[in-house]
């Protein structure tokens, strides 16, 4: 077989002519590797064998007569069984089947004028393709993009799509990191989704899992024992070898994967899953390396890079010149945990270190993470590192996401665990706060459909092990640990668990008041000069009561400031009022511009909050105020005589 004169990527199958494909695989464990071209996916299909040439460093490569759509596998050391390409671009019959040659140039992009996305001023929408629509495909999902753009979403965050076994799953058990999940559609269907999003002004980022492989369908050990570090486990299995012996090709594999999604599918960045489980002591942390390579590939288009990190390591969003990893943002679980406690009173398991008090939300608005190195009693150790100086848009805030909705007995949405007024008030805080807000699919119209942990991975024993593991995880919550509750928990491998999570878009009309609430808030955030600003040190706050507080958004001369008054408790008349953040500049007064208690949203109606005589905060409400010229001269204090 011939060597290729040039390749775009160091691994995988690449067309080098209309009917010629070059193959390259890292297989240091092998003495020899044969390319197996297959006429079809049938067991008795005709096959032809082509020995690959050995290269230095454990690579094997060569070209063969094969065009787009050709099916192939590799044979290692003349073994009886054949295996898919570790860098397969498509697995039409799943991870256990044949790999498929893909021609990425067949799709005709229309987004040449798309310039990418910046982190500031974005609204993120987390989507699971399999449950976003009844069909569970990219083509069906793309038909809903115009509505997401209309209501003010700017970034779609797609849950993982690397191919995995079975008919349904969250995607975090992927095993073919270059192959889009075959049941969602073809690679070109995915390209069409991204292209359509760009035409509507929507960015699309991909959730990638670089901390483990799924338990079924991973054939990497056939080619090398160096992909994983057996003695260093994560919560999901063996750790990836990013810094051990023979780790350079492993790092290359992941850096190439990042480049590939950006270049061939025009993704606008990544959300890196569970980076606290990505162990790497190299001089250049692998997540930062992937991100920098992705940015270089995208240039001049800009992309965004977001990390999930349970340990809350702030260096992820520091520049490399300061010892950081050059990412743009991190998920802020602290905000979520405080919000859940404030909405539900639920203080158990990982909520136990949160009070849901006004000061927690003020601190989140000013500093991002709440835990930046203090003792964290739930884990019996300090949590977090200092994040002072990080811009507000670097913290992604949410009250729902895939994990947190599912971490209830039946994947129940948060609105059903609180009062309507308090939920509306919290939604307003989420969408008008200085952070970057994230909505989970269906949240915008008050979806009643649950989101349950579901997976079709493996055989009977594996499924039972996953069920026990999942139920054991939920047992950290005492309310979910009882025998009665455990017996009622949805079984992850039950198809009805998956089907029950599919959104019902008719709820946009059925829950019109909640939909209007979200649409109006997104418009206010987008159009208001202060709420859209997200400037560093631009917000201060003060506690007004046991369940109430105010955030003040400052302008240059304080004459265009905004107030966000939040009350999760009973109606309050503020008397006395020794809080300077409530004071308007001379010649100006506060005027209500929005209230979560508007009858439009099912509330009791908008009442006046601030007058020259008093301040009254409605119960379970959030109210936004702006400065306007005084309608009548300001009252003068009555003189008080001594003696």
Q: How far apart are the first and last CA of the chain?
A: 108
Instruction: Return the closest-CA partner of residue 184 out of 131, 136, 128, 127.
Output: 136
Q: Where is 383: in which H helix or E strand?
A: strand 381-383
Q: Do 62 and 52 meet the contact criterion of CB atoms below 8 Å apart?
A: yes
Q: Where is 334: in which H helix or E strand?
A: helix 333-344
Q: Do 327 and 307 meet the contact criterion of CB atoms below 8 Å apart?
A: yes
Annotated active-site residue in 85, 264, 308, 597:
308
193 Cα distance to chain centroid: 18
Q: Do 42 and 284 meet the contact criterion of CB atoms below 8 Å apart?
A: no
What is the bridge-based pairing of β-strands 374-376 and 329-331?
A: unpaired
Radius of gyration for the chain, computed over Cα atoms and rounded to the nearest angstrom: 27
Q: Do 68 and 105 meet the contact criterion of CB atoms below 8 Å apart?
A: no
What is the bridge-based pairing of β-strands 124-127 and 155-158?
A: parallel
Annotated active-site residue in 38, 176, 226, 273:
273
Establish whether 308 is a catalytic residue. yes
Which residues sit opposite 20 in a β-bridge?
17, 65
Cβ burial of 453 (10 Å; 0-12, 13-18, 19+) is: buried
Q: Which two tokens stand for residue 7?
A: 């390749």
Measured over all CA atoms, what is the biggest interatomic distance in the chain, rounded to whole angstroms? 110
| 3-class secondary structure per residue, 106-124 | HCCCCCCCCCECCCCCCCE
3-class SS of residue 617: strand
Establish whether 111 is a catalytic residue. no
Q: Do 50 and 82 meet the contact criterion of CB atoms below 8 Å apart?
A: no
Catalytic residues: 273, 308
């Amino acid at each position: 077989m011939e060597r290729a004169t040039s390749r775009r990527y160091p691994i995988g199958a690449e067309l080098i002519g209309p009917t010629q494909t070059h193959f390259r695989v890292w297989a240091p464990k092998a003495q020899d590797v044969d390319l197996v071209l297959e006429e079809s996916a049938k067991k008795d299909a005709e096959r032809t064998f082509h020995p690959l040439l050995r290269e230095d460093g454990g690579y094997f490569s060569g070209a063969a007569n094969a065009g787009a759509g050709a099916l192939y596998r590799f044979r290692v050391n003349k073994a009886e069984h054949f295996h898919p390409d570790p860098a397969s671009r498509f697995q039409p019959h799943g991870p256990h089947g044949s790999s498929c040659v893909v021609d990425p140039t067949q799709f005709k992009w229309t987004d040449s004028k798309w310039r990418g996305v910046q982190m500031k001023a974005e609204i993120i929408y987390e989507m699971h393709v399999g449950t976003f629509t009844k069909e569970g495909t990219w083509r069906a999902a793309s038909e809903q993009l115009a509505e997401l753009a209309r209501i003010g979403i700017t970034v779609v965050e797609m849950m993982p799509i690397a191919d995995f076994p079975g008919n349904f799953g969250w995607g975090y058990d992927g095993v073919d990191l270059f192959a889009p999940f075959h049941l969602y559609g073809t690679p070109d269907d995915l390209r069409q989704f991204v292209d359509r999003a760009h035409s509507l002004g929507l960015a699309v980022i991909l959730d990638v899992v670089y901390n483990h492989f799924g338990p079924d369908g991973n054939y990497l050990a056939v080619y090398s024992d160096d992909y994983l570090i057996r003695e260093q486990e994560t919560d999901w299995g063996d750790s990836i070898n990013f810094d051990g012996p023979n780790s350079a090709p492993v790092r290359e594999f992941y850096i190439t994967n990042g480049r590939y999604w950006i270049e061939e599918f025009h993704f606008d960045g990544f959300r890196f899953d569970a980076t606290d489980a990505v162990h790497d002591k190299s001089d250049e942390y692998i997540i930062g390396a992937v991100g920098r390579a992705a940015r270089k590939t995208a240039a001049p288009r800009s992309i965004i890079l977001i990390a999930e990190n349970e340990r809350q390591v702030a260096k992820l969003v520091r520049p490399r010149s300061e010892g950081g990893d050059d990412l743009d943002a991190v998920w802020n679980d602290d905000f979520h945990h405080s919000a859940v406690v404030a909405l539900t009173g639920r203080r158990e398991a990982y909520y136990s270190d949160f009070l849901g008090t006004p000061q927690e939300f003020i601190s989140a608005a000013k500093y991002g993470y709440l835990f930046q190195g203090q003792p964290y009693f739930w884990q019996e150790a300090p949590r977090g590192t200092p994040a002072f100086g990080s811009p507000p848009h670097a913290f992604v805030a949410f009250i729902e996401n895939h994990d947190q909705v599912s971490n209830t007995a039946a994947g129940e949405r948060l609105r059903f665990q609180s009062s309507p007024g308090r939920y509306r008030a919290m939604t307003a805080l989420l969408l008008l706060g200085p952070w970057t807000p994230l909505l989970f699919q269906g949240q915008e119209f008050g979806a009643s459909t649950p989101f349950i942990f579901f997976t079709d991975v493996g055989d009977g024993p594996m499924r039972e092990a996953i069920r026990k593991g999942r139920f054991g995880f939920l047992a950290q919550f005492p309310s979910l640990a009882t025998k009665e509750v455990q017996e009622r928990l949805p079984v992850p491998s039950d198809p009805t668990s998956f089907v029950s999570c599919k959104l019902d878009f008719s709820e946009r009309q059925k829950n019109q008041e909640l939909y209007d609430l979200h649409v109006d808030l997104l418009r206010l955030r987008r159009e208001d000069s202060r709420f859209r600003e997200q400037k560093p040190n631009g917000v201060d706050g003060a506690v007004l009561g046991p369940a109430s507080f105010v955030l003040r958004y400052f302008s240059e001369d304080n004459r265009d400031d905004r107030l966000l008054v939040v009350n999760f408790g009973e109606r309050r008349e503020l008397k006395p009022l020794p809080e300077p953040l409530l004071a308007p500049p001379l010649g100006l007064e506060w005027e209500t511009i929005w209230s979560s208690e508007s009858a439009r949203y099912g509330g009791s109606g908008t009442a006046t909050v601030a007058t020259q005589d008093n301040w009254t905060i409605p119960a379970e409400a959030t109210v936004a105020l702006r400065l306007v010229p005084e309608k009548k001269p300001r009252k003068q204090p009555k003189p008080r005589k001594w003696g």
